[in-house]
Structure 1
Amino acid sequence: MLILFVVTLAGTLLVHFYLRNTYATWQKRPATSGLTGAETARAILDANGLGAVRVEGVKGQLTDHYDPKERVVRLSEGNYRSPSIAAVAVAAHEVGHALQHAKAYAPLQWRSALVPVASIGANFAPWIIIAGVMLGALGLVQIGVILFGAAVLFQLVTLPVEFDASARARTQLETLGITTQADRAGAMSVLNAAALTYVAAAAASVAYLLYYVSAFMGGGD
Structure 2
Amino acid sequence: MWLLDTGFIIFVIPALFFVMYAQNRVKSAYHKYIKVPSKSGFSGAKVARAILDNSGLDDVKIEQSRGELSDHYDPRKKVVRLSSNVHNGTSLASLGIAAHEVGHAIQHANGYFALSLRNMIFPAANFGSKLGVPLFFIGMLFSQGGNTLLMDLGIALFFFAVLFQIVTLPVEFNASTRAVAALEGSNFLTVDEVKPTKEVLNAAAMTYVAATAMALAQLLRLLLIRGRRN
Same fold (TM over 0.5): yes
- Cα contact 2:11–2:220 (8 A) shared by 1: no
Residue 79 (structure 1) aligned with residue 86 (structure 2)? yes
Q: Which residue of 2 aligns with 1:126?
A: 133
Aligned partner (choices 104, 112, 120) of residue 105 of structure 1: 112
Shift of 1:33: 1.0
Deviates more, 1:207-216 or 1:101-110: 207-216
Residue 33 of structure 1 aligns with which residue? 40
2:197 is aligned with 1:190: no
- Structure 2 matches for 1:37-186, cutoff 5 A? 37-136=44-143, 137-186=147-196
1:107-126 per-residue CA deviation (whole Å, 9 max, x = no partner) reads 10000001100001111111
> What are the Cα deviations for residues 46-74 of structure 1, in whole angstroms up to 9, with x where unaligned?
11111110000111111111111100001
Q: Matches of 1:39 and 1:142 in 2, distance apart?
A: 50
Per the alignment, in what secondary structure is the counterpart of residue 218 of structure 1? helix
Compute the displacement of 1:217 (Å). Answer: 3.5
Query: How far apart are 1:185 and its partner, in Å?
Result: 1.6
2:110 and 2:222 mapped to 1: Cα distance? 38
Q: How far, CA to CA, are the matches of 1:124 and 1:75 in structure 2?
A: 31
State which of 10, 13, 16 in structure 2 corresponds to 1:3: 10
- Partner SS for 2:67: coil
- Distance in structure 2 (CA, Å) of the matches to 1:125 and 1:59: 31
Runs of 4+ more than 6 Å apart: none
Q: What SS does the corresponding residue of 2:228 show, helix, strand or coil?
A: coil
Cα distance in 2 for partners of 1:124, 1:33 equals: 48
* Residue of structure 2 equivalent to 1:215: 225
Q: How many matched pairs? A: 219
* Mapped partners of 2:97, 2:148: distance in 1: 45
Distance 2:89 2:226 in 1: 49
RMSD after superposition: 1.1
Bigger shift: 12-21 or 130-139? Answer: 130-139
Report the AA paired with residue 149 of structure 1: F
Larger Rg: 2
The AA in structure 1 aligned to 2:191 is Q
Give me the whole-angstrom Cα distance separating, in 2, the residues matched to 1:61 and 1:147.
32
SS at match of 1:188: helix
Gaps of 5+ in 2: 1-6
Match in the other structure for 1:15: 22
